[in-house]
Structure 1
Amino acid sequence: MEKALLFSILGSAGALIGAALLLLLRDAARERLLPCLLSYATGTLLGAAFLGMLPKSLEKAAPLTVTGTVLAGIVAFFILEKLIVWRHCHEADCETHAQKGGALILIGDAFHNFVDGVVIAAAFLTSPTLGVATALAVIAHEIPQEVGDFAILLATGMSKAKAFSLNLLSSLSTVPGLLLGWFWLDEVREAIPYVLAISAASFIYIAIADLVPGLHRHVGARATVLQTLLMLLGIGTIALFRFAH
């Protein structure tokens, strides 16, 4: 429980602090670094889903049930995104966030971080190694998201201190998500494979629907090679945690 709680806090507050540090960089440096982070995050999300969550889920439930749950999850996340509940952009000029304002960002992030907490709980209850790999994937994709959210909140006229404080409060919703997931799933362990399948669906959807389109904005052979290498590095990081233990 202590390790899961630690990585839950790292996945929220740690990502937020990392985003704040990135904001201290010059604009040009940050613009060069963010696509690299997005490429790595894409790899960690896909690696955690396909190398960690889905294999563990398939060990505990019928294959058709697992794949059906993943499919239903992807459709559900599409609907949530259409309703602007799940949406969390990775850029400062997001049209959706610009229209809806800072309050929606904070509410949407709190909801998403709460779900991340449940995901981390399910992963740690399955195995500590899967828990660490899942938390790493959460951290990797939350850092670029928080950079974009910070920039949007500051653009609304909010002070840096207030933007950081409100974002921190929103990010820490991971902790109650972890606690609820931990105690509920510990009592109802037969639900774990389905939670893992839905978690895999969320990671796949975020990677393919949110991150990959942003990567396609950077064209050219050099950008493509770098993105591919960083994506493979992200997958390799998860594989290392998954198979080395």
Structure 2
Amino acid sequence: MLASTFFNILPEVYELAPNQLHELLGVLLLGILAFFFLGKLSIWRHSHGVDGDESNLAAPVAWNILIGDAFHNFVDGILIAAAFLADPWLGLATTIAVIAHEIPQELGDFVILLHAGLSKRRAFVFNAFSSMTSVLGGILGYLALEKLQIYVPYVLMLSAASFLYIALTDLFPVMHKTHQHESALMQAGFIMTGVGMTFLIGHALH
């Protein structure tokens, strides 16, 4: 995600709107803050639900996850659409980065739904439905932004904000929890491999 942000998204934004850099950097900051407050809201909603009767938690928890994840996936679809409109390679790189993050997140949501009392079938249906909103966001985003190309750099900046926030607040803290020397070396190897591949493929396609 960091490699895609710095090697692909931010350079593309600068090429599309070199005279709007100050405004776009403001959008980047506002985007990071918005994701922070959305995260706080999600934590509060889950904590608020746990205060009630645990036997009646399945439906509220499921709907909280469904609504939050559906909105997140819908926004991801819009961001991917903006990336494809700017450059096909950027769209592909953004899609790969989003999928790489979404797979473990969706698995985590599935486990939470099971723990809340849903059956495997219902948990799968909930997850599948929320995932499909990314397709809807992608289609609507593409149709809207195709006619409003002026807003593509701003949407790309929100994509950069999303990637930076996820990488620095979700992924890095988890990796810092391990204190084993071998695990740290493996993490460093995977990170450098991902950065190198993103740079080389992007350079070759441009």
Give the gaps of 5 or more residues in structure 2.
51-59
Superposed, 1:164-183 pairs within 5 Å as 164-183=124-143
Q: How far off its partner does 1:213 sit?
A: 1.1
Of the structure 1 ranges 67-76 and 164-173, higher mean CA displacement relative to structure 2 is found in 67-76
Aligned to 1:17: none
- Equivalent pair of 1:97/1:104 in contact (CA under 8 Å): no
Distance in structure 1 (CA, Å) of the matches to 2:152 and 2:119:
42
C-alpha distance in 1 between matches for 2:49 and 2:165: 22
Percentage of pairs with the same residue: 48
Gaps of 5+ in 1: 1-44, 88-94
CA distance in 2, matches of 1:67, 1:214: 28
Letter of the 2:81 partner, please give it: A
Structure 1 Cα separation of the partners of residues 75 and 108 of structure 2: 20
1:146 aligns with 2:106: yes
| Larger Rg, first or second structure (1 or 2) | 2
TM-score, scaled relative to structure 1? 0.74
Q: Which residue of 2 aligns with 1:205?
A: 165
Does residue 188 of structure 2 align to residue 232 of structure 1? no
List structure 1 runs of 4+ shifted beyond 6 angstroms.
none
Q: Post-superposition shift, 1:228?
A: 1.3
| Structure 1 residue 96 displacement after superposition | 5.3
Q: Tell me if 1:79 matches 2:22.
A: no
- The structure whose residues are more often helix, as a share, is 2
Q: Establish whether residue 57 from structure 1 lines up as the match of residue 17 from structure 2.
A: no
Distance 1:96 1:124 in 2: 38
Aligned to 1:157, what secondary structure does the other structure show? coil
TM-score (norm 2): 0.87
- Alignment coverage as a number of residue pairs: 193
Which deviates further from its counterpart, 141-150 or 95-104? 95-104
Query: What residue is the counterpart of 2:151 in the other structure?
Result: 191
Q: Any idea what the Cα deviations from partners look like across 1:202-240, whole Å, max 9, x if unmatched? A: 110011111111111111221111111112222233223
CA distance in 2, matches of 1:113, 1:236: 27
Q: Which amino acid aligns with 2:34?
A: A
Measured on the aligned residues, the alpha-carbon RMSD in Å equals 1.9
**Deviation readout 1:3-24 (Å, 9 max, x if unpaired):** xxxxxxxxxxxxxxxxxxxxxx
